[in-house]
Chain A
Amino acid sequence: MTADTLQPQRDPALEPEIKDPIILRVEALSLWYGEKKALKEISLKIPEKQITAFIGPSGCGKSTLLRCINRLNDLIDGVRVEGDIVFNGASIFDPRIEINALRKRIGMVFQKSNPFPKSIYENVAYGPRIQGIKRKRDLDEIVEKSLKGAALWDEVKDRLDESALGMSGGQQQRLCIARAIAVEPEVILFDEPCSALDPIATARIEELMQDLKSQYTQVIVTHNMQQASRVSDLTAFLYLGELIEYGPTERIFINPMKKQTEDYITGRFG
């Protein structure tokens, strides 16, 4: 019995020291799809204006965890959640919170680009319009700002009225980012945003994420180890619904503490 035992036990492999303020705190989160337990008592803290990466083999629950954060799993029949996620000090599962307001503050970019079958302009203006912004001048300004923010403005400024579905895959994905930042969220969730893109388009998105860092907290799910090591500040490794290791990206990749983590990042399984 040492003095340490008086304090709550801290596993250095799971609870890194974080100096920045915490914006999201996942607390013993478990999730069931019907009978199947997809997330097992996951706890982690996500700091503000940093990029946090979720890695792990296919089916380990990365997307599920990500979609818990903006409560997109609510739409799926038979989902049951235990534990909590605290966002800016308030539980997102609190029945009093307005789910649409939450989703407005936590944006998401999906694995497959999913522009609406509308014009480029209308895609970006969609969120602000939902928020009740009607004046054309304001909308124009937001659209321009968001497209610039997503490094897309120069490519599309002359064809804002054309269908978004006529753009290239990389452009569509950046349009989805522009659409997400148009509502000025605090957090942006990325679910394998580059998996359908070529290396050049991928590099542009990664660059973009670095640019967005000054304003937004970002969480990214990726299968690409290099990408995780390049873009993220913190990395969480999940395996079979469990959080195995969480820490500064550099340490995880150079000096993993758990054998499973090491096996995965060196490509021995997964």
Chain B
Amino acid sequence: MQNDEKTSHASLYGGDRGWSERFGHAFTWLCGGALALNVLLVLGILSLLAWKGFGYFWQEDLVEFTLKDGSKVLGEVWEEEIVAATPEHPAVDRLRLKIGNRDVNGLDFVWIDRADVVSRREPKDVVLLERLEWGNFHGYLREIRRGDQVLAQGSEAVWQQLGPLLATKEAEREEIHALEKGAIGAINYEIEKLRLAARRLEISGLPAAERERRQAEIDKTLQEREAEFQQLADRLFQMREALTAETLVAATASGETKEIPVGGIVSAIRPDDLGVLGKLALQGKRIRQFVVDDPRESNTEGGIFPAIFGTVMMVFLMAFAVAPLGVVAAVYLREYAKQGLLVRLVRIAVNNLAGVPSIVFGVFGLGFFVYLIGGSLDKLLYPEALPTPTFGTGGILWAALTLALLTVPVVIVATEEGLAAVPRIVREGSLALGATKFETIRKVVLPAAAPGILTGMILAMARAAGEVAPLMIVGMVKLAPTLPLDGRPPFLHLERKFMHLGFHIFDVGFQSPNIEATTPLVFATALLLITVVTLMNLLAIGLRNHLRRKYAGSAV
């Protein structure tokens, strides 16, 4: 039956068709398969990142192992491994534990042999303390002291008291932080400004009398400020004292006691007493802190907010620079330049620019933006600060401009395509109404090409957000003390150095003193980087769709 159909089919189209149709089917499958493979790859990457990244924030139970030699080890089971037997050694079944207590043990992870384990238990009253210094503490609560006075004693009583006490300590820490960043920061800033003013006066070449008069004024304010500063510093000292007034005495699994200032504890949990919901809530809280907090312990702990902020701000600055640059260049190439050999050559050159290794752009940025332009700016505008460079060193502005150069070809190509898609008849319609060519381009052609331009911007921003190499030499740093945007005039500090998620991944995962503990952070940070890039893209895509809808049915 089927065979009959085939022959009649074949006779309709001629002999070879049967084969070619079968080949066509195979080809369709091949294409579909290739697409499926791509999709799988992307999903694979995302799920790996999500699994490992979210896993970092998940709290496992703490398990106490008693070993053959009588010692006790308390930790999270991180992985299990069977080392194959070799001629010299029999096979080993071993566990890797994250034991915390870096200050006691000197390391974060230990391997134990399963064969050595005598017993294991998950005590409900074991606590995990997240500390500002030395990482996590695993152990048992003993007492809380203020000076010689014992406030609470015994695991349960201490646990009851610890919660409220930690809340007050957190408030105190925040107060200290506010004082440091707020009032003290402001005075420091003013003192620095006065110092610069004095230096400016010195090199100003004013008559000596006038100079002295002004110098005296400056000195007077400086003294006032310094007195104020002293007062604030004293207050800060008192607050710090208060913060560390209480100590928590806790014991490790092996029975050693440890005194921990309560002010240095961020949070206390009893992981073995938490249900799944409790652990989920804890995970959520940790993720939130990871996103909004500042880093601690040379980036291995705390959050990565400055890196998120630096990445986003750098990308937006880059977008502000690249949009006009790329669009203007494309408009000239497409609308004004006489289409000929020269324009073709320029176009080829621009396209090839996209293929230049990005580190080369970094080198160019360093030589041109940082040394040449930044150096000249410093001499012109900030001579008093020299030899300390202001703009003559890497900064967020130079980084953004360097990346703008890197991504400008993408914007040019997309804009040219957008412009080419605006039909000639629409332009003629505008000209026929008495508009000049410039008015036509500005009011009709560019708005109609806007969705295409935005597509280019999306690609450029995605590329810029992922680029790390060139930034390392034009202003990106491991740890930036201040954000490039803050409450002090001029609010936007374009000369400041900044942190970046891409670099953070590298730094935290492979450059930190404690690689074992921080490797999972690599995944979490990568996941965050992808999320940030996706969010920025969604923003741009939303904008583009809005424009498309506004010009519904337009040719672009």
Contact = CB atoms under 8 A, between A and B. Distances in A.
A110 B428 contact: yes
4 tightest CB-CB pairs across the interface, nearest first? A104-B434, A117-B551, A165-B553, A117-B554
A114 B553 contact: no
B432 interface: yes
A114 B445 CA distance: 13
A92 B439 CA distance: 22
Interface magnitude class on chain A: 20 to 34
Given A117-B554, A163-B552, A75 B433 contact: no
A108 B434 contact: no
A259 B300 CA distance: 95
Given A103-B433, A183-B433, A130 B439 contact: yes
Interface of B: 423, 425-426, 428-436, 439, 443-444, 447-448, 550-554
B553 A163 contact: yes
Contacts of B435: 100, 126-127, 130
Contacts of A107: 432-433
A108 B431 CA distance: 10
Contacts of A104: 433-434
B339 to A, nearest CB: 9
Given A108-B432, A116-B429, 18 more contacts: A70-B432, A72-B428, A114-B426, A115-B429, A116-B448, A117-B444, A117-B448, A117-B550, A117-B553, A126-B435, A126-B444, A127-B435, A130-B434, A130-B443, A163-B552, A166-B552, A179-B429, A179-B433
B434 A183 contact: yes
Contacts of A115: 429
B225 to A, nearest CB: 52
Nearest to A167: B553
Contacts of A176: 429
A116 B446 CA distance: 11
12 contacts: A75-B431, A100-B435, A107-B432, A108-B428, A112-B425, A117-B444, A126-B433, A126-B435, A163-B551, A165-B551, A166-B552, A180-B433
Contacts of B436: 100
Interface in A127-176: 127, 130-131, 163, 165-166, 176
B433 A110 contact: no
A64 to B, nearest CB: 14
A101 B435 CA distance: 9
A114 B433 contact: no
Nearest to A71: B431
A118 interface: yes
A161 to B, nearest CB: 10
B240 to A, nearest CB: 62
Contacts of A116: 426, 429-430, 444, 448
Contacts of B430: 116, 126
A245 to B, nearest CB: 28
Interface in A180-231: 180, 183
Nearest to A70: B432
A165 B552 contact: yes
Contact of B431 (A72, A118, A165, A166): A72
A163 B431 contact: no
Interface string A62-78: 00000000101001000
Contact of A72 (B432, B552, B554): B432
A166 B429 contact: no
Nearest to B444: A116
A130 B439 CA distance: 8
Nearest to A131: B434
Contacts of A179: 429, 433
A112 to B, nearest CB: 6
A131 B447 CA distance: 20
B544 to A, nearest CB: 14
A110 B425 contact: yes
Nearest to B555: A117
A126 B444 CA distance: 10
Contacts of B423: 114
Contacts of B432: 70, 72, 103, 107-108, 110, 180
A115 B430 CA distance: 9
B551 A118 contact: yes
A107 B448 CA distance: 23
B443 A126 contact: yes
Contacts of A131: 434
Contacts of A72: 428, 431-432
